[in-house]
Structure 1
Amino acid sequence: MKDSILRLKSRLIRTLKLENLLFKFLPNGIYVFNLHRIGDRHSCQFDRNIFSCGVDQFEQFLLLLKASFDVVDVATLSQILDEQQPINKRLAVITFDDGYKDCIDKAAPLLVKYQLPAAFFITTDFVGSERIPWWDEMAFLLRQSTGRVFKSLSTGQDINLQPNTIEKQIAQVIFTSKRDNNHTLVQILDDMREQFPQARAQLAQQSNSLFMNWQDIHQLKDMGMDIGSHAKTHNILARMSTEQQLHELTLSKQVLEQQLNQPIKYLAYPVGRYHCFDQHTLDNAKVAGYSLAFNNEKGKNRFISERYSINRYCFDEGDLSTLKLNCIVW
């Protein structure tokens, strides 16, 4: 019921074109923004929906935040919570998930230019590897197989892969894969590989380096950026046992601490929607030694009662208008 009311409110504001006006009067609170990749999504052979925006749009995003908020780092946010300080300003926190190479190549120079801090949450198994994460491999296999029929393991449906609809079809397959409680992501991906062996062979012949290496991450650290954990493998934590979850969170923290020679206090849950983590995850984050953890659910943080499930607004498709609208409504 609540979500329906909020969606109705969103449509009304958009119809009346009130986003820019209302955005100027946002209430005080902590607004955490999350991004993934920066660059030209249309030239990418992998998951294009993981791109937050292009370089020019990222610069406009930073200018918007700089003009509308006091932008603080995660350490400042943690201190505010530790000291139970009143939140009497509009504060913004910038975060990045996964650790794509775009972070150091495209995002970092603009953050330095505008003297803005950000936190980068790293999936440690991806660092310095040519590993292709499951969502990027799914997108590649499907995009290279247009004209064929894909039988979805998750839904049992046949999907005619067509060039004019392939991007929507990729997004839908990835969406249903994240929510499939009957099959693991490994099972879903293995089934797709069997259906499209030619595309799989094509991918195997390529050399891909999508993610930062340790030198890149050290460079971010030297720039004054916060580094946090995005788990070890980026598997969905809620589908793991309590012991497996703790292993994911503990080992990634240990690896980052050993590589960077500093405590790692902050965590962002892979995927981060409410169905992707559970109470065991929150408990394990605390046991593993993290002091803050972030989800990927829309919502301003007027006050923070749960340090291990802090809301973040995702910046998607370079759409500042929708981002403003989400901040107003949610």
Structure 2
Amino acid sequence: MTKKLILKKWIAQRVRHGKGLLPIAPEQNTIRVLMYHSIPATDDLQDAGQMTTPFELFKRQMAYLSEHRFNVISCRTMTDLLANKQPIPLRSVVITFDDGFRNNLSTLPVLEEYGFPAMFFLSTHALDGEADYLSWSEAERLAHSSRFSIGSHSVSHRNLKRLDEPDVRDEIFVSKQKLEERLQEPIEYFAIPFGSYGAFDGRTRRLLQSAGFVAAFSTIAGVNSHRSDLFALRRTRISWFDDMTTFPDQLSGYYDWYRWWQKMSKSL
């Protein structure tokens, strides 16, 4: 485990036991969005980073959500609740996957078993034939499912804030257009590449709105409420680090303090 992850766990434990000074977001009227990346079959964590959650651990995490009666909802339900200021059911959670790793397909039977919807954010460049990523035919399978949805993760997964406006426009507009043409489904949700404070700005929001997106998801830690910006929705990064002692703490908000570190450091 890296020093950074050890420090995160130590701070979370202090917060959990009431020794921290940072407030914990209440469960009521909030929605937590879980952010997954690669879901490999192996439990070998020697080279694992924050983008990896072993399949067996993922299964245990989904079982936990079911056993503890979390209300797992779709992105559509989430944005409808937020935009219309409707009451949010207790323990509401959204499940998302970034980057479109092919091993994400292994999660489908698990999600189906529990009746959980999920959103898969895909970069179109990876769909064009990159190894270890979903193919177009596999993306079509997801898009045409009643339980799963596809969102855009740009064309080539570059930091949008660092690009000239014409390039940002292409990353946003071209990805949406290509996904809609190939999948024959509306693409209304966007996951901002890298997604922290140093990865998007007002220009990004303006272009996303102009392209017709309903909402955009960041990687900034925390929960979402009726006061949230629909084009900077917060998410909770889940990885191999989140074993069955840490995962409940993530769901309870004991790691939400991390967004302050993200803001100070402009961490990606």
- The interval holding the TM-score normalised by the smaller chain is 0.7 to 0.9
Residue number in structure 2 paired with 1:325: 249
Report the AA paired with residue 267 of structure 1. Answer: F
Q: d(CA) in 2 for partners of 1:305 and 1:299?
A: 11
Query: Which ranges of structure 1 fall in alignment gaps of 5 or more residues?
Result: 1-5, 17-21, 131-208
Deviation at 1:276, TM superposition (A): 1.1
Q: Would you say the 8 A contact 1:230–1:270 is kept in 2?
A: yes
Q: TM-score if structure 1 supplies the norm length?
A: 0.66
Larger helix proportion of the pair: 1
Q: d(CA) in 2 for partners of 1:112 and 1:257?
A: 25
Report the AA paired with residue 85 of structure 2. Answer: Q
Q: Would you say the 8 A contact 2:74–2:118 is kept in 1?
A: yes
Q: Deviations over 1:179-220 (max 9, x none)?
A: xxxxxxxxxxxxxxxxxxxxxxxxxxxxxx210001111111
Residue number in structure 2 paired with 1:299: 222
- Secondary structure at 2:229 match in 1: coil
Q: Would you say the 8 A contact 2:39–2:53 is kept in 1?
A: yes
Taking structure 1 as reference, are residues 305 and 27 closer, same or farther at Cα in structure 2, changes over 3 Å only? closer
| Aligned residue-pair number | 239
Q: Would you say the 8 A contact 2:122–2:154 is kept in 1?
A: yes
Deviates further, 57-66 or 35-44: 35-44
Deviates further, 278-287 or 115-124: 278-287
Correspondence 1:86-235 to 2 at 5 A: 86-104=87-105, 106-130=106-130, 209-224=131-146, 225-235=148-158
Residue number in structure 2 paired with 1:167: none
Q: d(CA) in 2 for partners of 1:245 and 1:265?
A: 17
Report the AA paired with residue 220 of structure 2. Answer: E
Report the AA paired with residue 301 of structure 1. Answer: N
- Secondary structure at 1:319 match in 2: coil
Report the AA paired with residue 111 of structure 1. Answer: L
Report the AA paired with residue 30 of structure 1. Answer: I
Report the AA paired with residue 263 of structure 1. Answer: P
Residue number in structure 1 paired with 2:238: 315
Taking structure 1 as reference, are residues 121 and 114 closer, same or farther at Cα in structure 2, changes over 3 Å only? same
Q: d(CA) in 1 for partners of 2:60 and 2:10?
A: 28
Residue number in structure 2 paired with 1:78: 79
- Secondary structure at 2:168 match in 1: helix
Q: d(CA) in 2 for partners of 1:78 and 1:59?
A: 26
Q: Deviations over 1:234-278 (max 9, x none)?
A: 011111122221111000000000011111000000111111111
Q: d(CA) in 1 for partners of 2:49 and 2:12?
A: 22
Correspondent of 1:257 among 161, 174, 180: 180
Report the AA paired with residue 98 of structure 2. Answer: D
Residue number in structure 2 paired with 1:42: 44
Correspondent of 2:192 among 255, 269, 280: 269
Residue number in structure 1 paired with 2:260: none
Q: Deviations over 1:45-81 (max 9, x none)?
A: xx73154311111011112222242100111112213
Q: Would you say the 8 A contact 2:29–2:87 is kept in 1?
A: no
Q: Would you say the 8 A contact 1:41–1:51 is kept in 2?
A: no
Residue number in structure 1 paired with 2:211: 288
Residue number in structure 1 paired with 2:60: 60
Q: TM-score if structure 2 supplies the norm length?
A: 0.80
Q: Would you say the 8 A contact 2:83–2:226 is kept in 1?
A: no
Query: Which ranges of structure 2 fall in alignment gaps of 5 or more residues?
Result: 1-7, 19-23, 257-268
